[in-house]
Amino acid sequence: MSDEYKTSPYRRHQNDVEARGSRREYAEDDEEGLGPFDIFRTKSAPADRLRRWRQAALVLNASRRFRYTLDLKKEEERKQLIAKIRMHAQVLRAAVLFQTGGQGPNGTPKEVPSSPTRFGDFGVSAEELVAFSREHDLSLLQNIGGVNGVAEKLKSNPEKGIPEDEADLVNRKKAFGSNTYPRKKGRSFWRFVWDACRDTTLIILMVAAAASLALGIKTEGIKEGWYDGGSIAIAVLIVIIFTAVSDYKQSLQFQNLNEEKQNIQMEVIRSGRRIKVSIFEIVVGDVLPLKIGDQVPADGLVIAGHSLAIDESSMTGESKIVHKDSTREPFLMSGCKVADGYGTMLVTSVGINTEWGLLMASISEDNGEETPLQVRLNGVATFIGFVGLSVAVLVLGVLVARFFLGKTTNPDGSKQFIRGKTKVGEAIDGFVKIFTVAVTIVVVAVPEGLPLAVTLTLAYSMRKMMADKALVRRLSACETMGSATTICSDKTGTLTLNQMTVVEVFACGKKIDSPDNKSMLPPTVISYLIEGIAQNTTGSVFVPEGSEAFEISGSPTEKAILQWGVNLGMDFSAVRSDSVIIHAFPFNSEKKRGGVALKMSDSEVRVHWKGAAEIVLDSCKSYIDANDQVTEMDEDKLSLFKKAIEEMAVGSLRCVAIAYRPYPLEKVPASDEELDNWQLPEEELILLAIVGIKDPCRPGVKDSVLLCTNAGVKVRMVTGDNLQTARAIALECGILGSKADVVEPNIIEGKVFRNMTETQRADVADRISVMGRSSPNDKLLLVQALRKKGHVVAVTGDGTNDAPALHEADIGLAMGIQGTEVAKESSDIIILDDNFASVVKVVRWGRSVYANIQKFIQFQLTVNVAALIINVVAAVSSGNVPLNAVQLLWVNLIMDTLGALALATEAPTDHLMHRAPVGRREPLITNIMWRNLLIQALYQVTVLLVLNFRGNKILNLEHETKDRAFKVKNTLIFNAFVLCQIFNEVNARKPDEINVWRGVTKNHLFMGIIGLEVLLQVVIIFFLGKFASTIRLSWQLWIVSVAIGIVSWPLAIVGKLIPVPERPFGEYFKKKSGLMSNGSL
């Protein structure tokens, strides 16, 4: 029933010179011999590579840790479900085909199934439409009256669409449903609470708390005995609630962003006018124009099509391009892509009544995705976790041994355990308290929130990037953009405004002084120009009733030429009704031209071409002169036209040539099949005009390019335009510094680069600043060459054929306004305003993500190191730990959930764009970070251990009772330790700057969290002494606590004056281990 569209002249063939080069899905060689956590590119990473790091990670709460990573099991189930649904659809169609074939030529035609559920005055029901649409039943469609019959029953005009009437739209939604499908509800808040409860260490602590509670009540009574166990339980509960609230807020942000991703804007024809609406607002009966790269938004029928080819792989699973027309193969399936050609469709089924709707309703759409930084942080968390686990086991062993050997004493000096005298319940209670401390050390030591901090900062950044006109489709791209070393940018619409106007015309062998002056052009030239402009276009001109204003739609180039045609007196509708398009060659970014064959009312055939000026000119053998006569084009005239093109290009104009030729009717293929595969004649053309279209540079683009250059990111222009036009714009934008830079290979033509060997391309790729007359495959070859040279490449693209380059690049940036759906689906980030300045903002945000994570790591590791050392040294030396379970849980809350919220949501600063890109293989913890955290940790450990061992004397507590002195000293240690973290949190904002307070008041969230931490600390000390085992401190000791904490600020300033080597510390250890393995020092 459907033929594979193999012979299309517009498709790229295997032997096409422009299709050289191969695509690399995933460069495993780049990561050979590296550890499980060294994944520098998660884009297209194989499942076994992703599974490997999951198995290597030390995880306490898998449901929370892996929430925002790809669920490999669910992904496999999803693929199987899609395959089943596709198989079901194919079986249905096969049955229809079999039934139709069995009837033979004289078979009884199918009756339309009667339906009692018709709504309103529509002549067909949703069930009837679904019957022939889902089964692709052509005989059933013919019984209804074909495409026009269906349109009539749906009260839709095949040319003007449905009325722009709100009541009519509501009726259609009631009768046939809306273009939405049931979506799985997001997780509720209680689900996040449950996930937080599944943390292994928290479960152990709750069990220990229950045991302590039972023993405490038994030995001391319910009034006093519930404090120890109850306080741990309450602390754990607070941790769970804080964690759940933070995670829930993140999930809501991702949910909103996912909805934004799915909200595609489509062009529809209503009341004869082309307007843009959300894909969810499309209704049955709508008439939609389709062009290459569009997604089919609903099930429907082809009204008219020219070389219309659909990629149905998303629905059938087969990589097969199928030719569509209004008679033999009219059925269009929602979710498929337009691979070639253009046409119009009538919507017959929407939402859940389409196979795509069923598919989307059946599968979980967003299944998570890990980012390289997330994977690396899991590695860091695993390493720290193993160290913490070892320390916890050591502390547990030492404390248990000291306890049962009678070496552990109470604050009053009495032994806690005496063999034969201590009751079993008291011994068990003592052991439970020791075990609780050890488990709490694990809670603090294993930074479970570290990998999740990436998700937090990404969620925050993605939300803010939306305001900066960038929609992130892949999480990993957000952070990878911070490592970008080069941006390969389109010219049109990205570096320029995409507001095009025809400003120069060269026709009849001379320059036309005023492009809109009809009197300067002969009548035949005007007639043929208007004919070619009106028919050889995918745009349209609409004149509302009772208005003289024109509404022109189409691409910016089409709109500029159509406007020029209107200025020349073109009546768009009248011209289009004077002739019939018998075949079309849609504009193609590889061939850089498009054409149509027209059959006139007098049966004459004319072929019109429009495209890149020098390419169309090469096919011209003659032109129409000022006397309205067709004149042969000699060498002198050819040189004159070429010079005109060059002068326009030097003036940064886009040059488009318009030409035609008559064609004998008898040579036009007679059968539909031959006509489908007919290659339009493109030789011996007659030149009508060369037009120069002005597209001004965007304001501020030169500053944006300079900002990138200063940030170590090289901007390259890759355009399909003339090399001279590209050169002029590149000089204007600052991509080329001066005319001295205008030498090969700084500026190169696509075919020159394409014809080089792979080695030659790799050699010159670094030096290329401008590539003109490039095909999409040239862009792909450039991306591959740059990546092989070690670059992290960002690429912009808007066309369907840009998809391979967008996929191959480390970061694919599709244009939101001019970009096709195919380009957007292959991209990682969509630039909503098509503006290069927005691309630069994405670079800033990418660097901000990396910088914020590094701030959080520095802060968290400082807390980890200090808390572990203080407790270990105290436990080994005295048998008591100054920081108990409840206090450690509070510290964990500060450094984990609250710390991540405060530091992972810092906005990007200009300082980020004054440093080089972060290499993907550079260590996560830099030498500067090591210096900062070791200085702070060493200070905290020294001061607090001195207080632990000499506190009674220093604080003049010797006259107090031992019990009170013990509590005052430990409360001061706890208070000073927490305040040290709060002050150090401010230090962590600017790891490499002296002034850490700059901009702090602008970050309201940071200020709020610092205030909350201080407030809660005061509440704990003053009012929750029983729970936290603390005592109220005098105002003098509060001053001491604040003084100990505030010293971290001047200490950080002094520390930043200490120089650090450029070579990462980790490399010294690697070298040392390498020497040791070779048997030498």
Question: Active-site positions?
Answer: 490
The CA-based angle 427-432-434, given to 5 degrees, is 95
Continuous segment of H or E residues that includes residue 235: helix 227-262
Residue 345: name the closest of 301, 280, 391, 399 by CA.
Answer: 301
Continuous segment of H or E residues that includes residue 343: strand 337-349
CA distances from 954 to 125, 149, 866, 944, 949 (A): 89, 97, 21, 12, 10
In the block, residue with structure tokens 């962590």: 988
Q: Which residues pair with 300 in a beta bridge?
A: 332, 347
Residue 432: Cβ within 10 Å count: 23
CA distance 720 to 321: 26
In the block, residue with structure tokens 């429009």: 610
127: tokens are 């069930």
Contact 50, 370 (CB under 8 A): yes
CA distances from 703 to 92, 469, 737, 1062 (A): 59, 18, 13, 31
471: tokens are 């929609």
Question: What is the full DSSP assignment across 114-160?
Answer: P-TT--TT-SS-HHHHHHHHHHT-HHHHHHHTHHHHHHHHTT-BTTT
Residue 1010: Cβ within 10 Å count: 18
1020: tokens are 């704990």
Q: Which residues pair with 295 in a beta bridge?
A: 337
CA distance 894 to 80: 44
CA distance 458 to 140: 51
CA distance 747 to 753: 10
CA distance 71 to 77: 10
Residue 540: name the closest of 516, 520, 558, 522 by CA.
Answer: 558
Dihedral over Cα of 329, 330, 336, 339: its sign: positive
CA distance 496 to 166: 38
Quick one: CA torsion of 750, 753, 818, 550, rounded to 10 degrees?
-10
Residue 933: phi, psi to the nearest 5?
-75, -35
Gyration radius (Cα) of the chain, Å:
36
CA distance 712 to 485: 7
Residue 870: phi, psi to the nearest 5?
-60, -50
Q: Is 741 exposed, middle or buried (0-12, 13-18, 19+ CB in 10 A)?
A: middle
The CA-based angle 357-264-464, given to 5 degrees, is 120
Residue 986: phi, psi to the nearest 5?
-70, -40
CA atoms within 13 A on the CB side of 377: 25
Alpha helices in 287-423 (DSSP H): 313-316, 355-362, 372-404
CA distance 519 to 509: 16
CA distance 554 to 879: 79
